[in-house]
Amino acid sequence: MVEHDEAHLDRVFHALADPTRRALLERLAAGERKVGELAAPFAMSLAAVSKHVRVLEQAGLLERRIEGRTHYCRLRPEPLAEAEQWLNFYEGFWDARLNALEAALKADPGSELTKEGQDG
């Protein structure tokens, strides 16, 4: 298995666990935005959106730059790639287990999978 910084992965998955934060990342996928622009479609205060932005920033999922009083955010996709790598390990794990189960069921003469193979 690929080695990962566990604390960093914890922050990434914590950030991704919230639907508002996932929606913010989706909006940032289209390009850099001001925090006010990010907040516009949500029925919450700018302060609440700023808290979500801070969680995403701490997870490394976005980068914030400040010009005067305006805060700009842009997506940083690298932590998503790290999370995907972690998930891919388990996808391979379950694929192998399910393939072994399928092979065992096909080898069992009383199995529905064996009967389906005989019908066709």
Distance CA 23, CA 99 (A): 35
Q: Is the pLDDT of residue 113 over 70?
A: no
What is the residue-averaged pLDDT of the chain?
85
Domains and CATH numbers, the chain: 1-111 (1.10.10.10)
**The CA-based dihedral angle spanning residues 44, 48, 54, 59, taken in that order and rounded to the nearest 10 degrees:** -60
pLDDT in tens, 2-29: 455 788 899 999 999 999 999 999 999 9
Q: How far apart are CA 105 and CA 67, in angstroms?
A: 63
Q: Determine if the pTM surpasses 0.75.
A: no
Q: CA 88, 90, 91, 96 torsion: positive or negative?
A: positive
pLDDT of the residue at 25: 96
Higher pLDDT, 111 or 74: 74
